[in-house]
Amino acid sequence: MRRLLGITKSITPIRLLNLLGVYVGYGISILLRRPVVLSMPSFISVEPVCGCNLACPECPVGTGELRREKGVMAVETLVQILDSIGKRAMWVNLFFQGEPLLNPNLPEMVSLFTGRKIFTSISTNGLLLTSTIAEQLVGSGLKEVIFSIDGASEEEYLAYRRGGSLQAAWDAVSIMAAVRKSKRAMFPRIVVQSLITSANEYSLSKIRSKALKLGADAVEFKTLHLHRGVDGEHLLPINKRYLRYTAEGKKRKGFFRLPCFRLWSTAVISWDGALALCCMDKEVEALGDLSEDLPKSWRSPAFNKLRHASLVGVGVPDICNQCSL
Ligand code: SF4
Ligand code: SF4
């Protein structure tokens, strides 16, 4: 309900037309088997920070394996992004590779999206959340906050969120719920999201109950993506229902039947303003070094080459074979 209401607020005629263009362009591309891009992205992911305060074992930021430069997005960079595609985008995930609360300007950044009536969501481990920051975020018009909490006990939690504290993570949920209530605000919608691992697969109902008791509006469970391949297999749950991969290892379930809709609908932008192929392109390297502005990069030959690969199913990047999106 909260999410629906938040999205409704972001609808404008230009955005609706743009969204229609996304679907029509995608449909025509399938018919012609060549990329036709009629619109700008309706959905964007923006990286406020590349870097984190935790060391999660299947995250390239947490393990320090990410090769690209780390950094914090400047407000000016965000303003440039908004000026170029903000009129057409209706939803932003203000996170990519890193912990958004490490950017001291996060509430200001959310306000900039709110000022342009764009639905804004952040995903955080919550450990840096204080009452003051929660108040600033509620005041900024943030529409959704996703807390990553993966255990009913400290031991289960630390199996994945290395360097964290389960109590501090639950406290963050309580703080956000209390501040929202004290301000009599409708937003942000509070979501607790758990990665299902071998450590917590038997505790999912406990995690759900705790989250709802503390004031979360929704609880979501996510399958684990293995960044390190076989080195991370001990983290996979035993129950096959919770697996993203088949028994043969790092292989995506099902077949790659339709081209990836995200290549027509969603732009992912790193802290320094570079365009990634999608949120699985963690090194922001699939499209090469695009020096043009965002609208040009969105329609660039490099991007269209990968759209074409996705349409014909030949030459898709490796990341697509592990993708469950
Ligand atoms: S909290 Fe998120 S960004 Fe940080 S190390 Fe863990 S998975 Fe990566
Ligand atoms: S990895 Fe491939 S299939 Fe997955 S979202 Fe990216 S482009 Fe689409």
Q: How far apart are CA 189 and CA 161, in angstroms?
A: 23
Q: Is 127 in the pocket of ligand 1 (CB under 6 A)?
A: no
CA of 195 to the centre of ligand 1 (A): 11
Count of CB atoms situated within 10 Å of the CB of 205: 10
Express each pLDDT in 186-207 by its tens digit: 999 999 999 999 999 999 999 9
Q: How far apart are CA 99 and CA 95, in angstroms?
A: 7
The residue with greater pLDDT, 160 or 323, is 160
CA of 26 to the centre of ligand 2 (A): 15
* Alpha-carbon Rg for the chain in angstroms: 20
pLDDT at 2: 87
Q: Which two tokens stand for residue 150?
A: 């993966």
Ligand 2 pocket test: pick from 45, 252, 278, 287 the residue with the most ligand atoms within 8 Å of its Cβ.
278
CA of 215 to the centre of ligand 1 (A): 23
CA of 61 to the centre of ligand 1 (A): 7
Q: Is 62 in the pocket of ligand 1 (CB under 6 A)?
A: yes
Q: Which ligand is nearest to the CA of 252?
A: 2
20, pLDDT greater than 60: yes
Residue range 69-97: average pLDDT? 96
Residue reference for tokens 């950044």: 109
pLDDT at 246: 64
pLDDT at 233: 85
Ligand 2 pocket, CB under 6 A: 260, 262-263, 277-278, 280, 319-320, 323, 325
Atom of ligand 1 nearest to the CA of 52: 4
pLDDT at 247: 53
Name the helix (H) or strand (E) containing 268.
strand 266-269
CB 244 within 8 A of CB 196: no
pLDDT at 241: 86
Express each pLDDT in 208-236 by its tens digit: 999 999 999 999 999 888 876 667 888 88
What percent of the chain lies above the pLDDT cut of 90? 79
Q: 78-82, 109-113, 131-135, 240-244: which has the minimum mean pLDDT?
A: 240-244
Residues 6+ apart with CB under 8 A from 220: 146, 191, 192, 193, 194
pLDDT at 289: 75
Residues 6+ apart with CB under 8 A from 106: 48, 94, 100, 122, 133, 137
CA angle in degrees (0–180, nearest 5) for 93-99-104: 95
Ligand 1 pocket test: pick from 56, 65, 101, 103 the residue with the most ligand atoms within 8 Å of its Cβ.
56
Q: Is 126 in the pocket of ligand 1 (CB under 6 A)?
A: no
**Residue 195, strand partner residues:** 222
Q: How far apart are CA 182 and CA 193, in angstroms?
A: 24
